[in-house]
Amino acid sequence: MNSVVMMGVAGCGKSSAGQVVAQALAMPMIEGDEFHPASNLEKMRQGLALTDADRTDWLTALGQALEQHPTGAVLTCSALKKNYRDRLRAHAPGLRFVFLDITNATAHQRVTARAGAHLFPPSLVDSQFATLESPVGEPGVLQVDATDSLTNLSDTVVEWIRQDLKKEPA
C-alpha cells in the first residue's frame, strides 16, 4: 500500500501540499474535508470544536475511501490524535503520514487570511493545537516544516516515499 496522509492542524497546508504530492506521485487525492457530515460542517462554521464522537463517522468514511484505492492515494486529514491515525492505519496497512508542522502563530495567520473562503474559522486554531498529539516517533511518519515551499515539500515527501518503497519486500 502506497497511501500517505498529509496531516496537521488547520492552516498547515494539507490540501495544497497534498495536491502537489498526489500529482508528483500520479496518485488520486482524497480531500478529507469533503467527507465531514453536515453536522460537523455546521459545528465548525459556528466556531465549535469537533469532539472525538464527531470525528468517528468521518474517520470511518476516510478509512473506507483509502480502501477504495488499494494501489495508493494521498489523503488530507488533520489526524490530530494517535487513535485517529491508528483508525486510519487499520484500513490501510503500511499507511504513511506526513506531519506538516507549523507554529500556532503561523496557523492563525493562514487561517485568518482564508477566512470566508474556507469553513474553518480562526477561532478554532487553538483547539487544534490543544488536541494535537505529535506523531513524531511513530513508525511511517515524516515531519516537515509546513512553511517550506510547496516544491521543497513535495520533493522531500516524494523522495521519502520512494526510499520507503525500496525497503518493502516485493
Q: Which domains does the chain have, with CATH numbers?
A: 4-165 (3.40.50.300)
Q: What is the pLDDT of residue 49?
A: 87
Please say whether the beta carbons of 61 and 85 come within 8 A. no
Yes or no: say if 45 and 119 are a contact pair by the CB < 8 Å rule: yes
Amino acid residing at 37? P
Closest-CA residue to 124 (of 3, 27, 41, 6): 41
Dmax (CA) for the chain in angstroms is: 49
Mean pLDDT, contiguous 10-residue spans, the chain (170 residues):
90 94 95 93 86 94 96 96 96 95 94 74 88 96 97 95 71
CA 137 to chain centre: 17
Residue type, 135: P
Q: What is the pLDDT, as a whole number, of residue 35?
A: 95
CA distance linking residue 142 with residue 157, whole number of Å = 8
**Contact (Cβ atoms closer than 8 angstroms) between residue 75 and residue 32:** yes
Q: Report the pLDDT value the prediction gives residue 26, as an integer from 0 to 100.
A: 93
The verdict on pTM exceeding 0.85 is yes
pLDDT of residue 122: 82
Give the DSSP H or E segment for 30. strand 29-31
